[in-house]
Amino acid sequence: MRSSFTRRCEIGAVALVVAALSSPALVCGRDLPPTTIGVSLMQATSSIDNISARAAMDANDAVLDAAATLRLSIEALRQSGEGVLDKRPNDLSAAQSKALAGIQSGVAALRVAADEPADQARERIDEIRRITSGLSPLPEQPTLLRASPSVLVPSAASESVLALTGRRLSKADPRLLFGEVEVKRTRLTDEEALFALPADLLRGSDRTPLAYSGRLLLSVRTCRWLIRCKRALQTYTVGVVMLPTRLATVRVGFDRQKTQRIYVQTPAAEGAQAAASNDLLYRRRFEYSTDDLTVMSCTREAQAPHAAGYFIDTDTLSASVTTRSGETKWGIVDASTNGFSIDLCAQPQIDKMGKSLGSVAVEATWKEFRVGDVVSAREWLEPEGLSWGAEIKQALPVDTHTIEVELEYFDGSHASFTQTSQDRYVEMKWNAQTRQLVLTPHLRSSLADLD
Task: Tell me, yes or no, whether 158 and 216 share the same domain.
Answer: yes
42 and 135 housed in the same domain: yes
The 3-state secondary structure of 61-96 reads HHHHHHHHHHHHHHHHHHCCCCCHHHCCHHHCCHHH
Predicted confidence (pLDDT) per residue in 32-47, tens digit = 556 898 999 999 999 9
Residue 230 is predicted with a pLDDT of 78
Residue 2's pLDDT is 38
| Range name among 219-223, 284-288, 423-427 with the lowest pLDDT average | 219-223
Arithmetic mean of pLDDT, 310-336 = 96
SS (H, E, C) the chain: CHHHHHHHHHHCHHHHHHHHCCCCCEECCEECCCCCHHHHHHHHHHHHHHHHHHHHHHCCHHHHHHHHHHHHHHHHHHCCCCCHHHCCHHHCCHHHHHHHHHHHHHHHHHHHHHCCCCCCCHHHHHHHHHHHHCCCCCCCCCEEEEEECCEECCCCCCCEEEEEEEECHHHCCCEEEECCEEEEEEEECCCEEEEEECCCCCCCCCCCCEEEEEEEEEEEEEEECCCEEEEEEEEEEEEEEECCCEEEEEEEEEEEEEEEEEECECCCCCCCCCCCCCECCEEEEEEEEECCCCCCEEEEEEECCCCCCCEEEEEEEEEEEEEEECEEEEEEEEEECCEEEEEEEEECEEECCEEECEEEEEEEEEEEEEEEEEECCCEECCCEEEECCCCEEEECCCCEEEEEEEEEECCCCEEEECCCEECCCEEEEEECCCCEEEEEECCHHHHCCCC
Both 131 and 162 in one domain: the answer is no
Q: What percent of the chain has pLDDT over 70?
A: 86
> What band does 303 get if pLDDT is binned at 50, 70 and 90?
very high
Per the structure, how many domains does the chain have? 5
Mean pLDDT, residues 160-165 taken together: 90
* One domain, residues 193 and 280: no
370 and 281 in one domain? yes
What digits encode the pLDDT tens for the residues 52-106? 888 887 777 788 888 888 888 888 888 887 788 998 988 888 888 888 988 999 8
**Residue 51 shares a structural domain with residue 135:** yes
pLDDT for 277 beyond 60: yes
In sequence order, which residues have a C-beta less than 8 Å from that of residue 42 and are 6 or more positions away?
none
Which residue, of 327, 356, 374, is where some domain finishes? 374
Residues 338 and 380 occupy one common structural domain: no
Residue 346, strand partner residues = 297, 328
Lowest mean pLDDT segment, chosen from 60-64, 108-112, 153-157, 334-338: 153-157
The answer to whether residues 54 and 154 belong to one domain is: no
What is the span of the domain harbouring residue 341? 259-267+276-374
Question: Does residue 133 share a domain with residue 76?
Answer: yes
Amino acid, res. 406? E
Do 253 and 402 belong to one domain? yes
Average the pLDDT over 260-278 and give the result.
75
Determine the pLDDT at residue 274: 53
Asked whether the beta carbons of 100 and 73 are under 8 A apart, the reply is no
Indicate whether 410 pLDDT > 50. Answer: yes
Q: Mean pLDDT in the chain?
A: 84
125-162 confidence digits (pLDDT tens) = 888 888 777 677 777 788 888 888 888 888 756 778 89
Q: Are residues 397 and 253 both part of a single domain? A: yes
Cα-based torsion angle of the residue sequence 105, 107, 113, 114 in order, rounded to the nearest 10 degrees: -170
Lowest mean pLDDT of 2-16, 132-146, 219-233, 266-280, name the range.
Answer: 2-16
Residue, of 425 and 267, whose pLDDT is higher:
425
pLDDT, position 134:
67
Same domain for 132 and 154? Answer: no
State yes or no: pLDDT of 224 exceeds 70.
Answer: no
Distance of alpha carbon 274 from alpha carbon 214, whole angstroms: 64
